[in-house]
Amino acid sequence: MTTEQRTFAVLVDNEPGVLARVVGLFAGRGYNISSLTVTEVDHAQGLSRITLETSGTPVVLEHVKNLLYRLVPVHSVADLTSYGPAVRREMALIKVCGVDKQRVESLRIADIFKAEVVDAGMEHFIFQISGEPEEIDRFVELMRQLGMVDISRTGVAAISRGAEVALK
């Protein structure tokens, strides 16, 4: 069966072990999580939102979604890919080292991608870029040729488009 890429959003109680429970459902089936972000989104209620991207067969992914909902600390689960169009965004910090033409070129390309310089020295820049993960991929590919020495990506944050709320 063909595998599909999915973006899940999971609203959970922010308590010890909750991430292990969520991740364990994927790991136990041999499914890799390609992107994972977790942060508390409601401090008063102690709720965290987990956004994760994975791929698998549709039947198994549907089952995993149901199993996610069965976890005691889970409030709600949404399959943002199936729900409809979603905004997916990621942020990355990219360190590029170089001199002369390489350095100028990296700055020009950063400008095209609307990446921001957040640290600079005579031999390096650190760029901050945010956007769709695929756009960041393209930027990273160019920077790799221009002396990229380090990279840190946040993983995908996602939310459904329109006035409706997918994650009730």
Partner 1 sequence: MQSAQADKSEQKLLDEPRCGARIIIDCLQEQGVDVIFGYPGGAVLPLYDEIFKQNEIRHVLVRHEQAAVHAAEGYARSTGRVGVVLVTSGPGATNAVTGLTDALMDSIPVVCLTGQVPSYMIGNDAFQEADTTGITRPCSKHNYLVDQVDQLSEKMHEAFDVARNGRPGPVVIDLPKDVQMAETRVYKTKDQVKRRSFQVVTQPAVEGIEAAIAALSTAKRPIIYAGGGVINSGPQAAMALRQFADMTGMPVTQTLMALGAFPASHKSFLGMLGMHGTYEANLAMYNCDVMLNIGARFDDRITGKLDEFSPNSIKIHCDIDPSSINKSVMVDIPVIGDAGEILNALIAAWKSGGHALDAGAQKKWWAQIDAWRSRDCLAFNQDSGDAEIRPQHAIARLNAAVKGKDVYISTEVGQHQMWAAQYLEFEEPNRWLTSGGLGTMGYGLPAAVGAQVAHPDSLCIDVAGEASILMNIQELSTVMQYRLPVKVFILNNQWMGMVRQWQELLHGERYSESYTDSLPDFVKLAEAFGGKGIRVTKESELDQAIADMIAYDGPVVVDCCVVRNENCFPMIPSGKPHYDMILNDEDKRAKPIEGSGRNMV
- Is residue 30 involved in binding partner 1 (CB under 8 A)? no
Name residue 128's amino acid.
Q
Per rule CB under 8 A, count of chain residues that contact partner 1? 25
CA distance 130 to 89: 7
**Which residue from 39, 46, 87, 117 is in contact with partner 1, where contact means CB under 8 A?**
46
- Is residue 59 involved in binding partner 1 (CB under 8 A)? yes
- Is residue 17 involved in binding partner 1 (CB under 8 A)? yes
Q: Residue 17 or residue 30: which is nearer to partner 1 going by CB?
A: 17
68-127 residues in contact with partner 1 (CB under 8 A) are 69-75
Query: Are 104 and 120 in contact, with CB atoms under 8 Å apart?
Result: no
Q: Which stretch binds partner 1 (CB under 8 A): 48-56, 59-67, 78-86, 123-131?
A: 59-67
Q: How far is the CB of 126 from partner 1 (least distance, A)?
A: 35
**Which residue from 15, 111, 141, 150 is in contact with partner 1, where contact means CB under 8 A?**
15
Sign of the torsion angle spanned by Cα atoms 32, 33, 35, 36: negative
Which contiguous run of DSSP H or E holds residue 12?
strand 4-13
- Is residue 143 involved in binding partner 1 (CB under 8 A)? no
- Is residue 28 involved in binding partner 1 (CB under 8 A)? yes
Q: Residue-wise over 54-84: b if at least 16 C-beta within 10 A, else e?
A: bebeeeebeebbebbeebebbbbbbbbbbbe
CA distances from 70 to 15, 77, 123 (A): 16, 10, 52
- Is residue 16 involved in binding partner 1 (CB under 8 A)? yes
Q: How far is the CB of 18 from partner 1 (least distance, A)?
A: 10
Q: Which residues bind partner 1 (CB under 8 A)?
A: 12-17, 20-21, 24, 28, 44-46, 59, 62-63, 66-67, 69-75
